[in-house]
Structure 1
Amino acid sequence: MKVTRAASTSRVLMIYTGGTIGMLFGQQGLTTEPSFLTATLRSQNRFHDPLQDSLFSHSGSVQGYRQWSSGNSGRSSPLTGVADVSSSQLPTLLVRSSRPIGRTGLSSDRDQGSSAAGGVQVADNVYEAHLPSLVTPRSAVPGGTGSKRIRYAVLEWDPLLDSSNVEMSDWIRIATEIELNYMFDAFVILHGTDTMAYSASALSFLLEDLGKTVILTGAQIPLSQLRNDATDNLMGALTIAGHYIIPEVCLYFNHMLFRGNRVSKMSSYDLNAFDSPNFPPLVKVGIDIVVNWKDVIRQTSLRRFKAHKKMNSHVATLRLFPGITAATVSAFLTPSTKGVVLETFGAGNAPQRSDLMNVLRQACDSGVVVVAISQCSKGSVSDAYETGRTLLQAGVVPGGDMTPECALSKLSYLLSKSELSVSEVRNLMGVPLRGELTSLVPPAANNLTVEKNLESINGLLSHFSRLSKLPPPHANLPKIIIQDETAPDAAAPWSWTAAESASTEAALYPMLLHLAASRNDIESIQFCLGKPENSVHTNTDSNALNSLEAASMVAGGLVNCTEGSGRTPLHTAALNGHLDSVNLLLNFGALVHQRDALGHTCLYYAARQGHSEVVNVLIKMGGAFSFVDNVFAAVAIENALKSGDTMSLDVWKSAGYVALT
């Protein structure tokens, strides 16, 4: 029973840095107050319902509410529905930090090393403690079956920061805490809105090869006020983090989940404070939660997650204006400056004065990386105008459609990498590393005709017949044909829309992909998925284009499609020990942290079956056991010890089994 409940529970770490969301009114205006936010979350049953005895847990139906209302035992109030559970009775979650940890968050410097801090130092600059956890009421899994609860711990900073005081060292601190706590399923970062776009952009680069969901959110009106946007923003971010694997740094605000490095703050007083002018939202939260899966980044590099812990502070932003002098620009470009984001007019234009161009050229020649972006919220720099080409000739690098926040963060990140030359930094500024700018390579046009759609589906049937060991494709198999309507006896032709074609293939492709993964059939996997993510724009093959259409209709993309037990093709390939299929699926962006309906990862199945080579690949990709995996692994290891099965013990050890405490 405990394992079943664990399988339907996500574990989220909430890092509370400060900001309006947890503020109270003081003598000099809104100010942060330690522990207030955690106490508020504990008092609201939508955020904390440990006994599943609140109104929220029994309001799914009339019958459920009436039964709860009439049989309420007094453990919770019909008005508030908040169970009376003291902090000492709350279940705990193990949390690590680079600073000493208090009972509900980070202790102040004066508490360092004291037992009152509630944490212990386990290594240099690594502290850990078991923090009280909160748990949401059970809710339906969006787009799936069953229900899920979200258990989360709040790691609160001390002192809490107004976001106007956030510095680069704080970005590194957040990245470090995510790395130390990567055993959690997802992360929610509570942050002030003023510099949230900067932090989201910076973290998108610092968190290298990210495979889990990271969401920043905050509020315009604090949670302490009766009318606020904090409740919706916090619940929305927590729900998405607990239910979906979107392996990006995101920003959630006003019912929209954006890619973090595409966002700018647009208003200081609207609840709709953020916008992503040049890239669509990843998730829209309305009556339904709609995920734009085709735009979600899927990690395809076979590298383990790590946090980069350096930023170069010798960067700055310079906004051009009519009449700006060369002397002003020259004074701005001091010898210590290593990188400059140049906010230009329109599509990348600048005044054409020779003295100004000479100053920029001299800076570029001396090794300063100057990146041009547009002052316009929408649009991109280009070489369409002569005034823009002059900048490029001076050595200025085009920054595409990056936001100012993103361009500055990316420049600081790249310049902090000592292994990169100035030339390499300039080249990488124009390359999308985390989806931060629109690639200049246009996607292939999808000019599929009905005939090509039918040809693709007939190809699908051919692969099904081969994998199912039916007669060969040239036998008298049923085929879909289109009749020549010019023939004298032609009947009305079968016509369909692109949506109908995609729907048909969305039903067929997942079935074929799972079958191919179970048989280690590389040809059929490639047929379904076309080419790996990094070369998809050069693929003009009709079946690949059709599979892309099908992928947009499958949660997580076609490569992460699930069958009845919640297993993905990667689960199937790992269970059967098919190393070639595992490698290929990972190259297509298969999620190594995806769990099936029982709460198991693909790493668990590979280890259980003793497939050591598959285990090594999944570990290299960042795979790790879930809480449920560890429970079952403990039983398997106990049996292996009793039987003296050293091979199994070695596999479990290489898979990273950690004994539960």
Structure 2
Amino acid sequence: MELSGSTNEAKVLVIYTGGTVGMLVGHQGYVPEPYFLTETLRSQTRFHDPLQDSLFSNSATVQRFRAWSSGRSRPQSPARGAGDGSQSSTEAIGPTLAVRSSRPIGHTPQPDEWNPLQMRNNHFCTRVSDNVYESRLPSLVTPKAKIPGGTTSKSIRYAILEWNPLLDSTNMDIQDWIRIATEIELNYTFDAFVILHGTDTMAYTASALSFLLEDLGKTVILTGAQIPLSQLRNDAVDNLMGALTIAGNYIIPECCLYFNHTLFRGNRVTKMSSYDLSAFDSPNFPPLVKVGIDISVNWNDVIRQTDLRRFRVHRDMSPHVATLRLFPGISGATIRAFCMPPIRGVVLETFGAGNAPQRPDITAALMDACERGLIIVAISQCTKGLVSDAYETGRALLKIGVIPGGDMTPECALTKLSYLLSKTELSTQDVRNLVGVPLRGELTRPTGSGQAHQTGSTIDQNVESIQQLLSQFVKLTRPPSAAPQANVKTDLIESDAAAPWSWTAAEAATTEAALLPFLVHLAAAKDDIESLKYCLKPAAAEDSVDALKLGMIPGGIANCLESGSGRSPLHVAALNGHGRSVEVLLRAGALVHLRDTLGHTALYLAARQGHEEVVDTLVSAGAILGGTDEHFANLVAKEALEASDQSTLRIWIKAGCKAT
């Protein structure tokens, strides 16, 4: 769903962990260099347009440029720039953004440097609480641009949280995954997150984060480069710009990986090449976004949260998991040695569609391991395909307790097993049951023959579908005292004897896609649950017509926007205090962080109108105040505090205000 805001500016945090993207050539090859990436991006207008900074006026003028350029010609040291009448470092550097981390950020002040103004201008790090540090980092801002199909021009303001030391991705481990997840949680007021990472283990990190980031409601994108930004010919520029553009303009609440003009679901990706610029592929799942002249989003496959739970981070993964690749001639003794404690889980890379040698020693070794409580997950060694029971050798593995892993990648199967085994509340049987269940879209749900998609639709089915839709319109728009309307189906069939004799599924979907947005907004405004559920039903259906309808409405029908206000059905229901409609919409995948044209979320609108029950529901689903909402809300809460308006104050505090 396209992000909106009154300032036409999205706020993105870039977490720079290391990798080729920011390296320079050293004596022994590419080496990381602190702050090189940030300063290089600052010098390129495509990544930083200082004329967009809010400390200038809103129009690009000669006066603005001369003011900016004259400021840059008089650089001041941080110590002199504050309080002596000269230009401060804030004026030279530009606006800053507050960023938090589990590690100290940047400069640590000395005892004689604890001056509040100096601390702000020099981006000093302060300790907020145990293992939480905060600093104001200089922000960069892209030129304003309109994405293909977008309604307004928008710039992306971002800060770069650079790790010290920068890591080669081959040195990444479980604690680093948890650190990235924690930094996302600490900075969840940002609109989206881009993680710069080395390519060697990027697929592992993307898979791990997809599980650690529970009930994620915002866009998280990993990217990097095969050739560093420091080289004249590189892929770093396109990868970073593409990731920033998607993160700053769309809400795709998944952990994704962007490379070579393509956005993939992170836990579906594997590295395919150490040489090509198209280094990654998702062999068993289509891309979420393709970037060319147009930006094509596959909204049908984007995951949306449907449970009323707040975003949280799981801060543990079991290290006692491993991957074992079968090979011709492998012995039972090798398998027994591999499965010895402390190993608790094994990803078994089998032949073809889940086959393994049927020698007694191998069968006995695997059976003994399963009986001891070891969890063994079978996946295919083939890049494309899945584990099935089509062959007798595959069925034999399932009989002895090996769990089929479907079409999961090796990286995903390993990190999912590590994630599940770290959850102390899950029994061994619980873990076994959950391995084959898609938790984050990481595997394809098995479908029986009775669930096969139909490719066509009859005339009667198409007419019936449109008839039902129009009937809902009649009911919603008719005044309560109005007389019953004529039969819609009869009118449709008899009104035109020369009506077309055929109607394809695509044509039916096009008609419904044009009508549904009006109906769902009307149903949300009137709190008509029956009509609302009728509109949202396609989101859970699997027939081809409903899939087409969803694909024609970006973000799905639950997130369709009014053309003028930019409000979604959730905005409308929250503004009117319709708690039942709000819950129905949230369970259908409505995005709690979506902003209207004025930059307001549903939470802000509900709190402003005093709808306490709706505020409670939205907060339980992960809604937070941010951007312009936070500023206005704090002012209203402060006024309520001064006026001793306890009812209003209570609502704004529930929404997340700090009325002090």
What is the TM-score of this pair, normalised by structure 2? 0.89
Q: String of CA shifts for 1:105-129, please: whole Å, max 9, x gaps.
A: x99xxxxxxx998211111111111
How far 1:478 moved relative to its partner? Answer: 8.7
Counterpart among 406, 418, 421 of residue 412 in structure 2: 406
Counterpart among 532, 535, 541 of residue 528 in structure 1: 535
Structure 1 window deviating more from structure 2 (277-286 vs 473-482): it is: 473-482
**Does the 8 A contact of 2:22 with 2:33 survive in 1?**
yes
Q: String of CA shifts for 1:433-476, please: whole Å, max 9, x gaps.
A: 00000001355634432221121112111111111125565436
**Does the 8 A contact of 1:100 with 1:117 survive in 2?**
no
Counterpart among 222, 243, 246 of residue 249 in structure 2: 243
The 1-side partners of 2:262 and 2:603 are apart by: 33
* Cα 1:323–1:444 shift into 2, 3 Å: closer
Q: String of CA shifts for 1:592-620, please: whole Å, max 9, x gaps.
A: 01111111000000100111111011101
Counterpart among 136, 152, 175 of residue 158 in structure 2: 152
The 1-side partners of 2:659 and 2:34 are apart by: 34
Give the letter for the 1:100 counterpart.
Answer: P
The 2-side partners of 1:168 and 1:375 are apart by: 24
**Does the 8 A contact of 1:257 with 1:282 survive in 2?**
yes
How far 1:644 moved relative to its partner? Answer: 3.9
Question: What's 2:171 paired with?
Answer: 165
SS of the residue corresponding to residue 517 of structure 2 reads helix
The 2-side partners of 1:547 and 1:361 are apart by: 45
Structure 1 residues not aligned, in runs of 5+? 59-63, 78-83, 108-114
Counterpart among 99, 103, 128 of residue 99 in structure 1: 103
Counterpart among 285, 288, 299 of residue 293 in structure 1: 299
Question: What's 2:628 paired with?
Answer: 628
Q: How does 1:382-531 map to 2 (within 5 A)?
A: 382-441=388-447, 443=451, 445-446=453-454, 447-469=456-478, 471=482, 474-475=485-486, 481-482=492-493, 491=498, 493-530=500-537
How far 1:73 moved relative to its partner? Answer: 4.6
Question: What's 1:124 paired with?
Answer: 130
The 2-side partners of 1:142 and 1:554 are apart by: 15
Percent identity among equivalent residues?
A: 64
Question: What's 1:561 paired with?
Answer: 560
Give the letter for the 1:556 counterpart.
Answer: G
Q: String of CA shifts for 1:405-449, please: whole Å, max 9, x gaps.
A: 000000000000111111111110000000000001355634432
Question: What's 2:149 paired with?
Answer: 143
* Cα 1:360–1:117 shift into 2, 3 Å: farther
SS of the residue corresponding to residue 408 of structure 2 reads coil
* Cα 1:628–1:213 shift into 2, 3 Å: same
The 2-side partners of 1:548 and 1:292 are apart by: 11
The 1-side partners of 2:62 and 2:279 are apart by: 40
The 2-side partners of 1:352 and 1:327 are apart by: 15
The 2-side partners of 1:629 and 1:306 are apart by: 22
Question: What's 2:77 paired with?
Answer: none
Question: What's 1:111 paired with?
Answer: none
Structure 1 window deviating more from structure 2 (85-94 vs 427-436): it is: 85-94
**Does the 8 A contact of 1:599 with 1:629 survive in 2?**
yes
The 1-side partners of 2:452 and 2:276 are apart by: 39
The 2-side partners of 1:367 and 1:603 are apart by: 46
SS of the residue corresponding to residue 257 of structure 1 reads strand
* Cα 1:484–1:635 shift into 2, 3 Å: closer
The 2-side partners of 1:142 and 1:652 are apart by: 37
Give the letter for the 2:615 counterpart.
Answer: V
Residue 22 (str. 1) matches residue 15 (str. 2): no
Question: What's 1:80 paired with?
Answer: none
Counterpart among 177, 184, 189 of residue 183 in structure 1: 189
Give the letter for the 1:101 counterpart.
Answer: I
Question: What's 1:224 paired with?
Answer: 230
The 1-side partners of 2:138 and 2:484 are apart by: 61
Q: String of CA shifts for 1:322-365, please: whole Å, max 9, x gaps.
A: 11111111111122110000000000000000110000000010
Counterpart among 205, 214, 232 of residue 211 in structure 2: 205
The 2-side partners of 1:560 and 1:327 are apart by: 56
The 2-side partners of 1:364 and 1:318 are apart by: 15
The 1-side partners of 2:269 and 2:627 are apart by: 34
Q: String of CA shifts for 1:496-551, please: whole Å, max 9, x gaps.
A: 33322222111100100000000000110111111774xx45xx7xxxx6444322
Question: What's 1:81 paired with?
Answer: none
Question: What's 1:618 paired with?
Answer: 618
**Does the 8 A contact of 2:506 with 2:545 survive in 1?**
no
The 1-side partners of 2:499 and 2:599 are apart by: 50
**Does the 8 A contact of 2:637 with 2:657 survive in 1?**
no
SS of the residue corresponding to residue 301 of structure 1 reads coil
Residue 324 (str. 1) matches residue 323 (str. 2): no
* Cα 1:322–1:620 shift into 2, 3 Å: same
The 2-side partners of 1:141 and 1:630 are apart by: 26
Question: What's 1:61 paired with?
Answer: none
Q: String of CA shifts for 1:201-253, please: whole Å, max 9, x gaps.
A: 00000000000000000000000001100000000000000000000000000
What is the TM-score of this pair, normalised by structure 1? 0.89
* Cα 1:260–1:476 shift into 2, 3 Å: closer
**Does the 8 A contact of 1:465 with 1:472 survive in 2?**
no
The 2-side partners of 1:377 and 1:185 are apart by: 34
Question: What's 2:315 paired with?
Answer: 309
Residue 90 (str. 1) matches residue 94 (str. 2): yes
The 2-side partners of 1:297 and 1:317 are apart by: 28
Q: String of CA shifts for 1:147-174, please: whole Å, max 9, x gaps.
A: 1111100000011001011111100000
SS of the residue corresponding to residue 50 of structure 2 reads coil
The 2-side partners of 1:289 and 1:230 are apart by: 19
The 2-side partners of 1:85 and 1:272 are apart by: 45
Structure 2 residues not aligned, in runs of 5+? 71-86, 110-118
The 2-side partners of 1:117 and 1:90 are apart by: 12
The 2-side partners of 1:491 and 1:138 are apart by: 51
Q: How does 1:339-354 map to 2 (within 5 A)?
A: 339-354=345-360
The 2-side partners of 1:295 and 1:393 are apart by: 33
The 2-side partners of 1:473 and 1:18 are apart by: 67
The 2-side partners of 1:274 and 1:14 are apart by: 21
Question: What's 1:112 paired with?
Answer: none
Counterpart among 368, 381, 385 of residue 362 in structure 1: 368
SS of the residue corresponding to residue 613 of structure 2 reads helix
The 2-side partners of 1:232 and 1:635 are apart by: 41
Residue 275 (str. 1) matches residue 281 (str. 2): yes
Q: How does 1:25-64 map to 2 (within 5 A)?
A: 25-52=25-52
**Does the 8 A contact of 2:194 with 2:220 survive in 1?**
yes
**Does the 8 A contact of 2:5 with 2:596 survive in 1?**
no
